[in-house]
Amino acid sequence: MNDLPCTHPLLDGRTGRSDLVRALRGDRPDRTPVWFMRQAGRSLPEYRAIRADHRMLDACVDPALASEITLQPIRRHGVDAAVFFSDIVVPLKLVGLNVDLVAGRGPVFAEPVRTAADVARCRAEFGAERLRAALDPIREAVALTVAGLGSTPLIGFAGAPFTLAAYLVEGGPSREHLRARALMHSEPEVWAELLGWLAELDAVFLEAQIEAGASAVQLFDSWAGSLSVADYRTSVAPHSREAIAGVREIGGGDPSSAVPVIHFAVGSGHLLEELASVGATALGVDWRTPLDEASRRLGDALPLQGNLDPSLLWAPPQVLERGLTDVLERGKRAPGHVLNLGHGVPPDADPDVLSRIVELTHAA
């Protein structure tokens, strides 16, 4: 898909001039847009009520449930964008890999991918065309959500190739990703094949969300911050660039119809310049790097997203407000700024505090 249909929200008058899209394109709307990274709804009692009866991955591929969960933070907080309810492993589940989200642990794969033969099998059996054929539930969920959002943009979502590879090689969550990094160093050709396959899946997954109506997308790299600059540049950046390139081609290169792409990696202050090089139109910054410093390092060239410290959600109101004011002031240096937390919403966050952040941001 190279061109958006004229009925797409970015082109038909619904979201193309929204505060979020304007900020991600380097503009300054009258108020700073704000949304909360995935999953904003997981701190909500209405979300927990749904999850009491539905497993996470089941909810992700049920169009009605995924749409309802996506819309809940909009109703509760009045944020300027919804982020599509999904999980980084959904594309891998849809192509047929045996993966489960284990409570208190995270994604667990029954068959880790660790050898050249494993990677060759994945490419042969679980390729992009197989994913494309399995995406109807995602397309339907996005379409349902967009219909309910009106002029509020939907942000599509995918996990970056390195983070997916880290889980696949380890077989589950890991603090150090030692097996994954060992494969990266010892068998670079196998590693490149693995991440190249995952980048293809990412591109297809994001494209489907855009085609169904998403007005922006975010590529989320949970674990890239564990890498050195040299390792990221050589072994990871080319594949994130490949995933993003597929999205950047949508709209035929016309900036007025291009889909904004946010790239975010946790603990990645040392990688900012490298992350910016992969081709996203906006860069998420976690709470460790002040936004004005980040913008300076990037030549004031990219809109930024972030970066309120999530710990402030439990601080006294005056401390939270002071921290928020500081983030908003520092964010003025960038061409555009979207207020967000410097990482995702913790499950035990107080929803009323999140709503207060939206109110304060809009009033600033």
**Catalytic residue of the set 14, 22, 25, 42:** 42
Output the six-digit token pair for 272: 């900012």
Q: Enumerate the β-bridge partners of residue 363.
A: none
**Catalytic residue of the set 19, 87, 292, 309:** 87
Q: Name the residue with tokens 């555009």.
A: 336
Q: What is the DSSP letter of 157?
A: E
Is 139 assigned a catalytic role? no
Output the six-digit token pair for 216: 């922006």
Strands (E), 172-324: 216-221, 261-265, 282-284, 304-308
User: Nearest Cα to 193, choosing from 208, 203, 183?
Assistant: 183
Alpha carbon distance 299, 286 (integer Å): 18
Is 232 assigned a catalytic role? no
**Catalytic residue of the set 22, 38, 114, 181:** 38
Q: With contact defined as beta carbons under 8 Å apart, do 100 and 108 qualify?
A: yes
Return left, alpha or beta for 5; rule: phi > 0 is left, psi -120 to 50 is alpha, else beta. Answer: beta
Alpha carbon distance 327, 360 (integer Å): 12
**Catalytic residue of the set 28, 31, 51, 139:** 51
**Catalytic residue of the set 25, 114, 167, 202:** 167
Alpha carbon distance 96, 88 (integer Å): 14
On the CB side of 127, CA atoms within 13 Å amount to 7
Is 42 assigned a catalytic role? yes
Give me the active site residues, please: 38, 42, 51, 87, 167
